[in-house]
Amino acid sequence: MIAAATAATRPHYGGTLRVMLQSAPDALELPANATPVDYWDMARTLSLVGDTLVKLDARGDPRPALAVAWQSDNNARHWLFTLRPGVKFHDFSAASPAAIAQILGTLHSNWSVQASAGSVSIESETPMPSLLAELALPRNLLLKQDANHVPIGTGLFLVAQWQPAKLLKLAANEDSWAGRPFVDAIEIEFAKSFRDQAIALELDKTDVIEVSPQAAGGSSPHGTSSSSLSLPVELLALVFSANSKAQDPRLREALALTVDRKPIQSVLLKGAGETAASVLPNWMTGYSAVFSAPANPQRAHAVLAEARQPAPHLSYGLAYDPRDPQAQLVAERIALNAREVGITVQVSLSGAEDIRLVRVVLPSPDPATSLDEAARQLGLPQPVFSTPGGGTSLDDLYQAEHSLLAGHAVIPLFHLPVASAASARVRDWVPSRLGAWNEAGPSLADVWLADRPEVLRQDSRAYSFPPVGSR
């Protein structure tokens, strides 16, 4: 438990949950090519307003949301979803099959979405074995927009006030199908750095913040807050640009062999995350150990000797996201490692970049969906599964991922969690192990605010999720 509330304290309604986030969105919608920070912030925000047809739990198993039941044909090309009855949007319009079908049809033009009595059917020319995982993604939240492009959903909260890039006030949805949340409102302040958020939390000016994974883990020194880490849901990797000077796969392989991930993980990331040589984390697939990750300078030298010799004093530019506080150090360490074998890597914020240090979101516990999404974010070809509409078997998944990594166009480095922290007045706060705030299982609907903060036990720890293991 995040906090051991005293027995005398009972959940009660009321209060405003104050939240701070890093991103500064201009619109309440999920950008197509969002950075991880923007993705998580907007996904978390919108998931308070809207619902998906289904949700996935931490194991990736589907759970009912707006749809209470579903079925498909054998080829997974035709799906039928039975909708929850009596659900209304925040504008009091009914979340009817027609309305739902219209939203889904707008989101996926390649689908054939049909409404029928109490249900919605989805049909595609290709098999869609991962449709449930897809529908559970934040981008498939069933939202309408008013004239001011403010989202109107069926979620726990409705938009009360929206100041782009600055403030969002959400009010409790009294008619929520999931029941009224304990808190009356949620006030989200945007564009707050980690440091500002941490200070605000320490000064009791906010209740829930984001924290860097390195800073997460356990309660604050004074026991006024606690933080939690998700499962590794992000991939930190090196990606070679299309016009990179490093086109030789052996050079790329040599660079991959020079990166000593352990010191970076233990020192710079302060133990957060896992070293990675695969796109998908081990908790998602169970086979990531097959992809070897240890640094091997000797082997790197040998591979480099086989590679086409780079021109003397040829330097490869390594760009990183300046908004990522650890990215620069990680990039510099990689450059330092590369220098050991004679590969000159120049770390820079801009300029001619040959390599990018990128962080991508693995948005779904479904490995095929996450692999597909990671390939899209990394600019790699979409994974090809040997089984049509595959991704359902481990072999298919492994082969697809192996093919994706074969040319060393991407060098996976770390799988990283996301983290958040809450003050002691926030009770029954159970952040999702997948990084979201309102997924299947405990949700913000269960959060309530204590009248006064209570000091947490010093030995309390954040949620630590056991390895999921192979699915």
Partner 1 sequence: MSFRKKLLLLFAATVLLCVAVISASVYSTIRRSFEQANQDRANAIAAQFRSEFQRRGLGVTRKVESIAASETVQRVALDMNRGTTDPGEYVGEARTLASQQQLDFLELVDYRGTILSSAQWQAKFGYPEATIPRATIAQATTAADTLPAGAFLKREELPDGATLGLFAVRVARVGEQPLYVIGGERLDQGFLSTLDIPVGTRVLLYQNLDVKWDPKSLFDLNGSAAGADRIAPLVAKVRDTLQESQGVIHWTSDPGDTEVFHAIPLTGPIVNATNPGATDQGAANQNGANQQLMGVLLVGSSRRPLIELERQIVSTAMLVGSVGILVAVLASLWFAARVTRPVVSLAEAARRVAAGDLGAKVEVESSDELGELAAAFNRMTEDLVQQKDRTLQAERVAAWRELARRLAHELKNPLFPLQVTVENLIRAKQKSPEMFEEVFHEGTATLLAEINNLKTIIGRFSEFSRMPQPQRQPTQVNDVVRAVLRVFDAQLQQAQLQDKDKKQISVRTELDQALPEISADPDLLHRALQNLVLNAIDAMPQGGELAIRTESLGDRIEVSVSDTGSGLTQEECGRLFTPYYTTKKHGTGLGLAIVQSVVSDHGGKISVESTKEKGTTFRIELPCNPLTGWS
- Least distance from C-beta 371 to partner 1, angstroms? 30
Residue list 421-450, contact with partner 1 (CB under 8 A): none
Determine if 333 is a binding residue for partner 1 (CB under 8 A).
yes
In the complex with partner 1, which residue's Cβ is closer, 47 or 326?
326
Give CA–CA dist 356/338, Å, rounded.
14
In the complex with partner 1, which residue's Cβ is closer, 75 or 298?
298
Residue list 336-365, contact with partner 1 (CB under 8 A): 336, 346-347
- Least distance from C-beta 297 to partner 1, angstroms? 13
- Least distance from C-beta 103 to partner 1, angstroms? 46
Residue given tokens 């957060």 in the structure block: 272
Give CA–CA dist 151/262, Å, rounded.
44
Return all residues near 434 (Cβ < 8 A) that are at least 6 apart: 56, 58, 230, 231, 233, 365
Determine if 330 is a binding residue for partner 1 (CB under 8 A).
yes
In the complex with partner 1, which residue's Cβ is closer, 27 or 199?
199
Can you read off the two tokens belonging to residue 228?
């939690």
Return all residues near 418 (Cβ < 8 A) that are at least 6 apart: 36, 40, 210, 213, 229, 230, 233, 234, 435
Which of the stretches 157-165, 192-200, 288-296, 330-338 binds partner 1 when contact is defined by CB under 8 A? 330-338
Determine if 294 is a binding residue for partner 1 (CB under 8 A).
no
> How is 364-389 classified by DSSP, letter by letter?
-SSHHHHHHHHHHHHTPPPP--SSTT
- Spatial CA neighbour of 222 closest among 406, 454, 61, 467: 454
- Least distance from C-beta 266 to partner 1, angstroms? 6
In the complex with partner 1, which residue's Cβ is closer, 271 or 407?
271
In the complex with partner 1, which residue's Cβ is closer, 260 or 439?
260
Size of interface with partner 1, in residues (CB under 8 A): 15
- Least distance from C-beta 309 to partner 1, angstroms? 20
In the complex with partner 1, which residue's Cβ is closer, 305 or 336?
336
In the complex with partner 1, which residue's Cβ is closer, 258 or 438?
258
Count other Cβ atoms within 10 Å, centred on residue 300.
24
Which one among 29, 123, 175, 332 touches partner 1, defined by CB under 8 A? 332
Which one among 58, 302, 329, 394 touches partner 1, defined by CB under 8 A? 329
In the complex with partner 1, which residue's Cβ is closer, 49 or 327?
327
Determine if 314 is a binding residue for partner 1 (CB under 8 A).
no
Q: Terminus-to-terminus CA distance in the chain, angstroms?
A: 26
Return all residues near 305 (Cβ < 8 A) that are at least 6 apart: none
- Least distance from C-beta 334 to partner 1, angstroms? 8
* Bridge-based pairing state of the strands 355-361 and 315-320: parallel
With beta carbons less than 8 A apart as the criterion, state whether 100 and 142 touch. Answer: yes
In the complex with partner 1, which residue's Cβ is closer, 270 or 376?
270
In the complex with partner 1, which residue's Cβ is closer, 161 or 344?
344
Give CA–CA dist 19/12, Å, rounded.
19
Give the chain's largest Cα–Cα span. Answer: 73
Q: Tell me which DSSP letter residue 265 carries.
A: I
Determine if 293 is a binding residue for partner 1 (CB under 8 A).
no
- Least distance from C-beta 453 to partner 1, angstroms? 28
Helix (H), strand (E) at residue 284: helix 282-285
Which of the stretches 64-72, 97-105, 237-245, 328-336 binds partner 1 when contact is defined by CB under 8 A? 328-336
For the purposes of burial, counting CB atoms within 10 Å of the CB of 148, is it exposed (0-12), middle (13-18) or buried (19 or more)? Answer: exposed
Can you read off the two tokens belonging to residue 383?
């994974």
Angle ∠(191,195,196) on CA atoms, nearest 5: 50
- Least distance from C-beta 338 to partner 1, angstroms? 11
Residue list 168-207, contact with partner 1 (CB under 8 A): none
What's the Cα-to-Cα distance from 440 to each of 54, 212, 295, rounded to whole Å? 9, 24, 39
What's the Cα-to-Cα distance from 340 to each of 164, 303, 343, 412, rounded to whole Å? 47, 14, 7, 20
In the complex with partner 1, which residue's Cβ is closer, 27 or 215?
215
Which of the stretches 21-29, 327-335, 366-374, 435-443 binds partner 1 when contact is defined by CB under 8 A? 327-335
Residue list 239-278, contact with partner 1 (CB under 8 A): 263, 266-271
CA 276 to chain centre: 17
Determine if 322 is a binding residue for partner 1 (CB under 8 A).
no
Determine if 161 is a binding residue for partner 1 (CB under 8 A).
no
Residue list 86-145, contact with partner 1 (CB under 8 A): none
In the complex with partner 1, which residue's Cβ is closer, 270 or 301?
270
Give CA–CA dist 78/61, Å, rounded.
20
Binding residues for partner 1 (CB under 8 A): 263, 266-271, 329-330, 332-333, 335-336, 346-347
